[in-house]
Amino acid sequence: MSEGASNQASEAAATSRYRKLSVIVPVFNERRTVAEVVRRMRTVPLPVDREILIVDDGSDDGTSHVLSQLGDSTVRVIVHAHNRGKGAAIRTGLQHVSGDLVLIQDADLEYDPEDWPKLLAPALKGRAVVVYGSRFTGERRNMLFLHWIGNRFLSLTTNILYNSTLSDMETCYKLFDREVIGKLTLRAERFDFEPEVTAKVLRQGIRIYEVPISYTGRELFEGKKITWRDGFAALRTLIKYRFVD
Determine the average pLDDT of the residues in 86-104.
Answer: 98
Q: Is the pLDDT of residue 163 over 90?
A: yes
Range of the domain at 192: 3-243
Structure confidence by residue, pLDDT tens digits, 58-81: 999 999 999 999 988 889 999 999
CATH number at residue 53: 3.90.550.10
Mean pLDDT of all residues in 98-112: 96
DSSP 101-138: EEEE--SSSSS-GGGHHHHHHHHHTTS-SEEEEETTSS
Do residues 51 and 21 make contact, with C-beta atoms less than 8 angstroms apart? yes
User: 3-class SS at 155?
Assistant: helix
Distance between CA atoms of residues 227 and 106, nearest Å: 16
Neighbours of 140 (CB within 10 A): 16
What's the pTM? 0.87
What is the number of other CB atoms lying within 10 angstroms of the CB of residue 85?
19
Under the banding of pLDDT at 50, 70 and 90, the label for residue 30 is very high
Condensed to tens digits (0 to 9), the pLDDT of residues 133-143 reads 999 886 665 66
Banded pLDDT at 221 (limits 50, 70, 90): very low
DSSP 222: G
Q: Is the pLDDT of residue 223 over 50?
A: no
Closest CA to 208 of 179, 171, 166, 173: 166
What is residue 143's predicted lDDT score, i.e. its pLDDT? 62
Mean pLDDT (the chain, rounded): 89
- Say if residues 105 and 37 touch (Cβ distance below 8 Å): yes
Q: Structural domain tally of the chain?
A: 1
> pLDDT at residue 146 above 80?
no
How many degrees, rounded to 5, is the angle at CA 85 between CA 81 and CA 86? 115
Helices (H) and strands (E) in the chain, counts: 9, 9
CB atoms < 10 A from the CB of 144, how many? Answer: 13
Strand pairing category for 140-141 and 20-27: unpaired
- Residue 144, pLDDT > 70, answer no
Residue from 6, 99, 76 nearest 45 by CA? 6
